[in-house]
Chains A and B, each alone.
Chain A
Amino acid sequence: MNPDGITAAVGESRPRIEGRLKVTGAARYTADVPVAGLAHGWVVTATVSRGRIRDIDAGEALAQPGVLGVLDHRNARRLNPDAGQYFGPDRSLPLLQDEVVAYAGRPIALVVAETPEQARAAAATVRVTYDAEPHDIEFSLAHPAARPASTLFGPEADTGDLEAELAASALVVDEVYHTPEENHSAMEPHVATAWWQDGHLHALDSDQGPFGISQVMASLFLIDPERAHIRAEHVGGGFGGKTVCGPQLILAAMAAEHFGRPVRVALTRRQVFLATGSRPPTEQRVRIGADADGRFRAVHHHAAFALSPLAEYIEWCTEQARTLYAAPAIRTELTAVPLDLLPPCSMRGPGATPGSFAFESAVDEVAERLGIDPLRLRLLNQPEVGPVSGRPFSSRRLVACLQEGARRFGWAQRDPRPRVRREGDLLVGTGVAAVAFIAGVFPSSATITAETDGTFSVRIGATDIGTGARTALIAVAADALGVGVERIRMHIGDSDLGMAAGAGGSRGTTSCAFAIVETAKALREKLAGATTPVTASVDTTPLINWRPDEDRYTYSAVFAEVTVDVATGEVRVRRLLGMFAVGRVINPLLARSQLIGGMIGGLSMALHEEGVRDPVTGRLVTADFAGYHISAHADVPGIEADFVADYEPQDPSGFNGLGEIGNAGVAAAIANAVWHATGTRHRTLPISLGRVVESVAAQDRPQAVGVA
């Protein structure tokens, strides 16, 4: 109960407020919103990995019924080549500007027609010829074009004398790990509807942050930022794939201007794979030196990822090494390898997720080779302060996660020896991984009006991509205003609502909650004795402590049990348990649901997801759900996700983000369990049966039943 006698909404499990609309089909996603006079664009994508367009023959397409025209580099309007997003200029954003093809799947034309069927059929008749050039998509850490990655996220770590500590170590693990290209695969493909009115751009777009996207669009089209109005009311998943300004929106806006009417561009599933950014492949070398008793002396994590020369990007794989364990010497290096690929894009815990797979696998290898229990090894090396920063932790409940998880999972009964548990043809193993995930807030602004009817209209440019953010923010607003949730009218998903963090970086809800809490505070001061309506607005930019004297992270411990079939190499997960320290939890029902979703994403990454490119053409072969496998229901066991008590002192309400940490530790926990089951270490994801079957069967041919 708060001082006004209202039961606190934060901490209560409530189903998402728009849930009924969604399950009854009443919620309208971007492509569901009718717009008068709508025309439809169909994207034509490049089929070579590098080269120049010699000709685009659209003659047949233009003659087809309903076709309004074809946009390509010869007739499209010019866009600002310096527009960009988080990482600076992104030269992949200006579409249809020239004949250069920098990657396969690049949109090179848009066929616009009265109906999507007409546009699609006409697009199939567009004949494109190229002057192909040799391409290079051969990713490796040792690639000649490899260069240090951007340090926009801060300098890499280099503390202590690494080589001396390695030399003094009783054991050095030095291994290389690989993760493949992966695609976000949100259920709702990217779609946008755009129109222009009086020099203003209006668009409905499936994205993770309409305010940020509106800024990019304004820059691309060189209009005042106030003239770009982007809405994303309901979004069918994003997983990072909709954080950037997508080709669907850029092309819809170009076509709407060109043809003088609203245009919708909906990508097909295949086009989402081909023309929107993926998680880049990584190659990671991890060296850990330890004393015979398990204490780490040296940690070295050198990670490389692929990107495009068109845009800067950071897959920050080295985050775990700098904060998870204490060691006298820690060095991290991050290498970027420019290749003829489309620019990568943040995905489900960028950096931390592939980085955790490599780093927490290597930690497990230390435990294996020293004969120390992997849980004990992790507890043994916990730091008192940030091992690289030297700063205290604002809250660090990782040990609680590990210990409570171990208790629930029954870790104490675990036999540490590999390949000793067998049920018929199935080998059984268990594994653990720890995770730290950086936390914080981005600037956001909110406006709250105390209405004459006693309700409060909260306006904030937040986005709910299916996580329950809207519901969570209503609870935050209700508590901050001291009223029940029924008195909150929440307005989100519109760039006109003002600057706000998008749903990304595990910071959307925390950032927007911060703004709402501060705005509510300001409103309550203004309200005293005033007559309604009263409005207050707060921008949190000056309130954010950008150089805090404490390290702020969320934590998790993940435990997995797997079976491996010795005859077939099939790996199946039996149990998955995640314990999380993510600050004060706003809505346990939705938080748990999001974490379980993340853990399923981690499982899918561990065992299934792999973007495969043709080694000759460089084109993505797995550009649909028949070729790109994500876990099916039958792959997902009973998953337990729960919280240890936590409170983030840097946040006025004790909150931290939890959007991505669910993904991060799962692949390592599963890989470590596969080692425990089979005795073979898998350092390349996914751990597909083709990779397992030969090693597991070579050691142990199945015995015929009843052989005398």
Chain B
Amino acid sequence: MREFAYRRTSRIDEALHLVARHEGARFLAGGTNLVDLMKAGVESPARLVDIRSLTLDEIGETPDGGLVLGATATNSAVAADPRVRGRYPALSQAILLGASGQLRNMATVGGNLLQRTRCAYFTDTSEPCNRRVPGSGCPAIDGAHHNHAILGWTRHCVATHPSDMAVPLIAFDAVVRYEALDGPGAIPLSEFYLPVGDRPDRETALPDGALITAVTVPAVKAAGRSRYRKVRERASYAFATVSVAAALDVRDGVVQDVRLALGGVASRPWRARLAESALRGGPLTAERISAAADVELAAAEPLRDNAYKVTLARNLIEAVVTELAADTGEESNG
């Protein structure tokens, strides 16, 4: 039987030492993904260090009017927080459109960011997978990839990142804060997920043994009117086929700020900076919205069976930005 050690600690320094001292040790928070992967044999940590007793579950204010989301705050708690709902409605919506009530009650902020892809080849240990076994190959490229990436992939991996929560977070310039044995650090979420490159198994820029302690979300005026729209094959309990987080600040007929990010299209939440640039500083017209979606998706490289995602992502950017424009009362004038 595959045995593993289990330790629970209420001190961050002890948690860091426990993981650093033991080969193959992992932090355990909600366990909604890690425990599943352990059952499937995808993950086989020698030691689990349970961090749910650390007091990292607070949701607090930052001096600039942003929020600090504690790493072990549950998805349910974040989604229900009145400040999150008021200042970052897309974040609350994204979380509530993910998983199930039971899972959201267990899953945490830090764990959500670190969850692994649901690519079927990754989760089946009898298949090759560069993300699971570096150098073993990627069967999805020529195989079943209906739900795989259209942006930013390489021949080494075409899997998508499954998180809903990370999509609005990246749109709002969230920053991941961590503690390591050599001190604290911070990584903007936009740099947190590494490009696929030739080592898809290296997923994040988080230093080895570091523990995510919080995610900070800066004050973003546009985020107060933000929206998350998730498209999936059924009405509930499915990962996004494509999702969009969007925020819009239009004054005097001119786009002051716009935030756009896509889920379900790449190995990481995809900040649509090209589309943002195309819209920022100009009027919000149907033509400009359409052109912005086009410019972002010009780089899309669909596989044999997922070209529909390009159409879908394009339509979704248009639909959500158009809805937001209507909501903000700033009618576009094309």
Interface residues of A (CB under 8 A from B): 47, 64-66, 115, 117-118, 121, 124, 270, 425, 567-570, 572, 607-608, 612-617, 619, 621-624, 626-627, 629, 631-635, 688-691, 693-694, 697, 701-708
Tell me which of B85-93, B219-227, B235-243 binds A. B235-243
| Contact (Cβ within 8 A) B325 A706 | yes
A613-B319 CB under 8 A given contacts A47-B126, A626-B118: no
Is the C-beta of B234 less than 8 angstroms from some C-beta in chain A? Answer: yes
Q: Given A614-B143, A627-B120, A694-B308 in contact, is the A705-B331 Cβ separation under 8 Å?
A: yes
Contacts of B233 in A (CB 8 A): 607-608, 629, 688-689
Q: In the assembly, what is the distance between CA of A651 and CA of B175, in Å?
A: 72
**Are the C-beta atoms of B308 and A635 separated by less than 8 Å?**
no
Question: With A121-B2, A702-B318 in contact, do A635 and B311 touch (Cβ < 8 Å)?
Answer: no
State A117–B1 Cα separation when bound (angstroms): 6
Residues of B within 8 A of A570 (CB): 231
Write the nearest CB–CB distance from A705 to chain B, whole angstroms: 4
Q: Does B315 contact A (CB under 8 A)?
A: yes
Show 10 residue pairs from A and B whose CB-CB distance is below 8 angstroms, ordered by the A residue: A121-B1, A567-B318, A568-B231, A619-B127, A624-B123, A688-B233, A690-B309, A705-B326, A706-B331, A707-B285
CB of A633 within 8 A of CB of B236, answer yes
Q: Is the CB of B1 within 8 A of A703?
A: no
A706 touches B144 (CB 8 A): no
Query: Which residues of B (100-152) have their CB < 8 Å from a CB of A?
Result: 118, 120-121, 123-127, 139, 142-144, 146
- Max chain A Cβ within 10 angstroms of own Cβ: one of B1, B318, B325, B331: B1
Chain A residue with the shortest CB-CB distance to B334 = A707
Q: Is the CB of B234 within 8 A of A704?
A: no
Inter-chain CA distance A117–B41, complex, in Å, is 13
Residue of B nearest to A125 (CB): B2
With beta carbons under 8 angstroms apart, the residue of B41, B144, B241, B334 that contacts A621 is B144
Residues of A within 8 A of B333 (CB): 706-708
Decide if B332 is an interface residue (CB 8 Å cutoff): yes
**Complex alpha-carbon distance, A707 and B308, angstroms:** 27
Q: Are B311 and A693 in contact (CB under 8 A)?
A: yes
The reply on B322 being an interface residue by CB < 8 A is yes
Chain A contacts for B323, CB-based, 8 A? 705
If the complex has contacts A623-B124, A705-B322, A706-B326, are A694 and B234 also in contact, measured as CB distance less than 8 A?
Answer: no
| Size class of the B contact interface (CB-based, 8 Å) | 35 or more
Q: How many Å from the CB of B265 to the closest CB on chain A? A: 14
**14 more CB-based (< 8 A) A-B contacts, given A624-B123, A635-B234:** A124-B41, A568-B315, A614-B139, A616-B142, A619-B127, A623-B120, A626-B123, A688-B233, A689-B308, A689-B312, A704-B289, A704-B322, A708-B333, A708-B334
Per the bound structure, the CA–CA distance linking A619 and B234 in Å amounts to 24
Contacts of A706 in B (CB 8 A): 325-326, 331-333
A702 touching B236 in the complex, CB below 8 Å, given contacts A614-B143, A690-B308 = no
Q: Please, which residue of chain A has its CB at the minimum distance from the CB of B121?
A: A621
Distance in angstroms from A144 CB to nearest chain B CB is: 24
Given A612-B144, A616-B139, A707-B332, CB of A632 within 8 Å of CB of B315: no
Q: Closest residue of chain A to B125, judged by CB?
A: A124
Which chain A residue has the least Cβ–Cβ distance from B118?
A626
B286, CB-defined interface residue at 8 Å: yes
The chain A residue sitting closest to B41, CB to CB, is: A124
Contacts of B325 in A (CB 8 A): 704-706
The answer to the question of B316 belonging to the interface, with a C-beta cut-off of 8 Å to chain A, is yes
Of the listed residues B41, B233, B239, the one surrounded by the most CB atoms of chain A closer than 10 A to its CB is B233
Q: Taking CB as reference atom, which chain B residue is nearest A691?
A: B308
Number of A-B contacts (CB under 8 A): 135
With known contacts A632-B234, A704-B318, A706-B325, A118–B312 Cβ distance under 8 A: no
Task: Give, as a whole number of angstroms, the nearest-CB distance from B143 to chain A.
Answer: 4
The DSSP consensus for interface residues of chain B is: loop
**By the criterion CB–CB under 8 Å, are B312 and A568 in contact?**
yes
Q: How far is the CB of B152 from chain A (nearest CB, A)?
A: 20
Residues on B with C-beta less than 8 A from A702 are 315, 318-319, 322
- Whether A632 lies near B312 (C-beta < 8 A) is no
Specify which chain B residues have a CB less than 8 angstroms from the CB of A624 in the assembled complex.
120, 123
Looking at the assembled complex, report how far the CB atom of B161 sits from the nearest CB atom of chain A, in whole angstroms. Answer: 15
The answer to whether A632 touches B236, judged by C-beta atoms less than 8 angstroms apart, is yes
Q: Are B318 and A615 in contact (CB under 8 A)?
A: no
Which B residues have a C-beta under 8 Å from some C-beta of A?
1-2, 41, 118, 120-121, 123-127, 139, 142-144, 146, 231, 233-239, 241, 285-286, 289-290, 306-309, 311-312, 315-316, 318-319, 322-323, 325-326, 331-334
Contact A65 B144 (CB under 8 A): no
By a CB distance below 8 angstroms, the chain A residues around B315 are 567-568, 693, 697, 701-702
Contacting pair A705 B332 (CB below 8 A): yes
CB distance from A62 to the nearest CB of B (A): 15
Name which residue of chain A comes closest to B239, CB basis.
A626
A570, closest chain B residue (CB): B231
Is the pair B1, A693 in contact by a Cβ cutoff of 8 Å? no
User: What residues of B have a CB within 8 angstroms of the CB of A689 in the complex?
Assistant: 231, 233, 241, 308, 312
Of all chain B residues, which has the CB nearest A698? B311
* Chain B residues positioned under 8 Å from A633 (CB to CB): 236
Q: Give chain B residues whose Cβ lies under 8 Å from the Cβ of A615.
A: 142-144
* A607 / chain B contacts, CB cutoff of 8 Å: 233-234
B308 touches A693 (CB 8 A): yes
Q: Which of A612, A635, A694 contacts B236 (CB 8 A)?
A: A635
- Whether the Cβ atoms of B241 and A635 lie closer than 8 Å is no
Complex-state Cα separation, A117 to B307, whole angstroms: 43
Q: Which residues of B have CB within 8 Å of A47?
A: 126
Distance (whole angstroms) from the CB of A454 to the closest CB of chain B: 49
Instruction: Verify A690–B1 contact, CB threshold 8 A.
Output: no
B329 and chain A: residue at smallest CB distance: A706
Give chain A residues whose Cβ lies under 8 Å from the Cβ of B139.
Answer: 614, 616-617
CA distance A615 to B306 in the complex (A): 15
Complex Cα distance, B283 from A7, in Å, reads 76
A607 to B, closest residue via Cβ: B234
Within 8 Å by CB of B235, from A121, A567, A632, lies A632
CA distance in complex: A512, B126 (Å): 45
Choice from A121, A623, A629 contacting B238 with Cβ under 8 Å: A629
Please indicate the chain A residues that have their CB under 8 angstroms from the CB of B41 in the complex: 124
Q: Are A568 and B1 in contact (CB under 8 A)?
A: no
Docked-complex contact B285 and A693, CB < 8 angstroms: no
The 9 closest A-B pairs by CB, nearest first: A704-B286, A706-B331, A634-B236, A634-B235, A705-B326, A621-B144, A690-B308, A567-B319, A567-B315
The distance in angstroms between the C-alpha atoms of A680 and B311, with both chains bound, is: 17
Known: A688-B233, A689-B231, A704-B325. Is A425-B319 also a contact (CB below 8 A)? Answer: yes
Q: Which residues of B contact A693 (CB under 8 A)?
A: 308, 311-312, 315
Q: Is the CB of B286 within 8 A of A634?
A: no
Contacts of B123 in A (CB 8 A): 624, 626
Q: Which residues of A contact B309 (CB under 8 A)?
A: 690
> What's the nearest-Cβ distance from chain A to residue B253, in Å?
12
Q: How far is the CA of A66 from the CA of B3 in the complex (A)?
A: 14
A621 touches B126 (CB 8 A): no
Asked whether, in the complex, the Cβ of B312 is within 8 Å of the Cβ of A614, the reply is: no
CA distance A569 to B308 in the complex (A): 10
Interface contact B286-A568, CB-CB below 8 Å: no
Instruction: Specify which chain A residues have a CB less than 8 angstroms from the CB of B238 in the assembled complex.
Output: 629, 632
Tell whether, in the assembled complex, residue A697 and residue B311 are in contact, meaning their CB atoms are under 8 Å apart.
Answer: yes
Q: Give the residues in chain A near B143, CB-CB below 8 Å.
A: 614-617, 621
